[in-house]
């Protein structure tokens, strides 16, 4: 599932501005399977159009509702389903869609009920980006 891209009148581009928030909150009732939360952001070039920020969402089976809070710093960058070596934080001012996909590659019926999805600012969360940023030399010379 993927949300519809927000548009202004005459199909002008519009973005979800989440720059003031640092956490995604979702209340759901799952079936015990793994899902992927996907955030798409506006890209300037056609090379960036397939970039997505993803996070695995583990659900508990059973009749009880589950409240999950995910910091935006935990999302990782992927393109066409492949995790990228060079990671970058989400540009939260340019979010265009939110999607949920099945993450366990099982071709079986699923059941995922979503009560609400929201964003909020958690003052206790101060992490900028969760993944290590490696600095590589531009050119490698072997002896």
Above 80 in pLDDT, residue 38? Answer: yes
Tell me how far the alpha carbon of residue 6 is from its chain's centroid: 17
134 located within any domain:
no
Q: How many domains does the chain have?
A: 1
Domain boundaries, position 21: 9-120
pLDDT at 44: 72
127 located within any domain:
no
Give pLDDT tens digits for 74-83: 999 998 888 8
Distance CA 25, CA 125 (A): 14
92 located within any domain:
yes
1 located within any domain:
no
pTM of the shown model: 0.82
What is the per-residue DSSP string for 100-128?
EEE-S---S----EEEEEEEE--TT---S
Size of the chain, expressed as the number of residues it contains: 143
Give pLDDT tens digits for 54-89: 999 999 988 999 999 999 999 999 988 888 888 888
CATH value at residue 39: 2.60.120.430
- Sequence-ordered list of residues with C-beta below 8 angstroms from that of 37, at least 6 positions apart, any chain: 24, 26, 54, 55, 56, 57, 70, 75, 98, 99, 100
105 located within any domain:
yes
């Amino acid at each position: 599932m993927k949300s519809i891209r927000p548009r202004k009148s005459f199909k002008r581009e519009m973005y979800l501005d989440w720059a003031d928030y640092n956490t995604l909150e979702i209340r759901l009732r799952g079936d015990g399977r793994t899902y992927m939360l996907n955030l798409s952001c506006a890209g300037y070039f056609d090379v960036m159009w397939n970039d997505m920020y993803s996070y695995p969402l583990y659900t508990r089976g059973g009749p009880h509702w589950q409240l999950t809070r995910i910091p935006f710093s935990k999302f990782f960058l992927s393109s066409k389903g492949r995790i990228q070596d060079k990671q970058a934080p989400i540009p939260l001012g340019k979010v265009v869609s939110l999607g949920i996909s099945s993450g366990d590659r099982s071709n079986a019926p699923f059941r995922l009920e979503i009560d609400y999805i929201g964003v909020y600012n958690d003052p206790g969360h101060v992490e900028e980006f969760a993944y290590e940023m490696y600095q590589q030399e531009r050119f490698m010379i072997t002896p």
